[in-house]
């Protein structure tokens, strides 16, 4: 009887985790630096914390992915212990001054909708960064 209950518990746990993971998708980004200045991309997590997403040398590309909970539309980044940290915004700007020189990358956040991958070409222009879809 105990073995039977253990099997049922394990089956239910697997079914619940499969349902939860089915609602989680990956939101992929590809950013090409078409300018002559190195760029840095970051994400704001909560109101006071940002996470580096990577740097892009002139002529190079950066790819990164964030998670998206399709049921709620929440975009997130997993932290080192596996917690989903909600992402408020994503941007790219001049390396060393990316916040002041940033171009914000719009995030699709609609419950029940899987957003398309984001592909951008970005370049430093004066004291700002400009990004556009290819």
Q: What is the DSSP track for the chain?
A: -HHHHHHHHHHHHHHHHHHHHHTEEEEEEEEEE-SSS-EEEEEEETTTEEEEEEEE-TT-EEEEEEEEETTTTEEEEE-TTS-EEEEEEEEEEETT-TTTT-EEEP----TT--PPPEEEEEEEETTEEEEE--
pLDDT in tens, 72-97: 999 999 988 989 999 999 999 999 99
CA dist., res. 90 & res. 5, Å (int): 46
Q: Where are the domains of the chain?
A: 24-132
Residue 20: what are its φ and ψ, rounded to 5°?
Answer: -65, -40
CATH architecture of 24-132: Sandwich (2.60)
**Per-residue pLDDT at 49 exceeds 70:** yes
- What pLDDT, on a 0 to 100 scale, did the predictor assign at position 18? 40
Note the pLDDT of residue 116.
Answer: 93
Instruction: Using pLDDT thresholds of 50, 70 and 90, give the confidence band for residue 60.
Output: very high
**Per-residue model confidence (pLDDT) at position 22:** 53
pLDDT of the residue at 16: 40
What confidence category does residue 24 fall into, taking pLDDT thresholds of 50, 70 and 90? confident
Model confidence at 15: pLDDT above 90? no
């Amino acid at each position: 009887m105990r073995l039977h209950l253990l099997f049922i518990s394990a089956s239910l746990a697997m079914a619940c985790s499969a349902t939860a993971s089915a609602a989680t998708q990956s939101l992929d980004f590809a950013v090409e630096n078409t300018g002559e200045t190195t760029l840095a991309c970051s994400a704001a997590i909560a109101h006071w914390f940002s996470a580096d997403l990577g740097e892009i040398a002139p002529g190079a590309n950066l790819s990164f992915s964030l998670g998206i909970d399709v049921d709620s539309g929440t975009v997130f980044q997993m932290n080192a212990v596996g917690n989903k940290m909600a992402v408020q915004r994503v941007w790219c700007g001049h390396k060393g001054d990316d916040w002041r020189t940033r171009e914000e990358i719009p995030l699709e956040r609609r419950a029940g909708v899987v957003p398309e991958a984001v592909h951008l070409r970005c370049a430093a222009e004066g004291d700002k960064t400009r990004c556009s879809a290819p």
